[in-house]
């Protein structure tokens, strides 16, 4: 894959977090969702803005929350 930061939308990032064992926990404020993995109690907030691309800074925070690297994300 390219060295550029990936551009993902809601459907793509939820597919990744589901594959990592996360499950939807609850709705947060507005159109945001809380996802949690019960094994290690990690959690993250994912904006549900349909087909809009998630901003880089937000995506970076999600990646850090779920505990993977950018290389791991590109493999998924």
Domains of the chain: 11-75 (3.30.920.30)
Query: Tell me: the pLDDT tens digits for 22-70?
Result: 999 999 999 999 999 999 999 999 999 988 999 999 999 999 999 998 8
The 3-state DSSP class for residue 33 equals strand
In order of 39, 42, 48, 59, the CA distances from 10 in angstroms are 23, 19, 6, 10
**Mean local confidence (pLDDT), 9-24:** 94
Residue keyed to tokens 């990592």: 20
């Amino acid at each position: 894959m390219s060295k550029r930061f990936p551009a993902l939308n809601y459907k793509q990032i939820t597919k990744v977090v589901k594959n990592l064992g996360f499950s939807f926990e609850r709705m947060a404020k507005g159109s945001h969702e809380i996802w949690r993995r019960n094994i290690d109690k990690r959690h993250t907030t994912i904006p549900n803005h349909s087909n809009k691309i998630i901003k880089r800074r937000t995506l970076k925070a999600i990646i850090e929350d779920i505990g993977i690297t950018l290389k791991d994300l590109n493999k998924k």
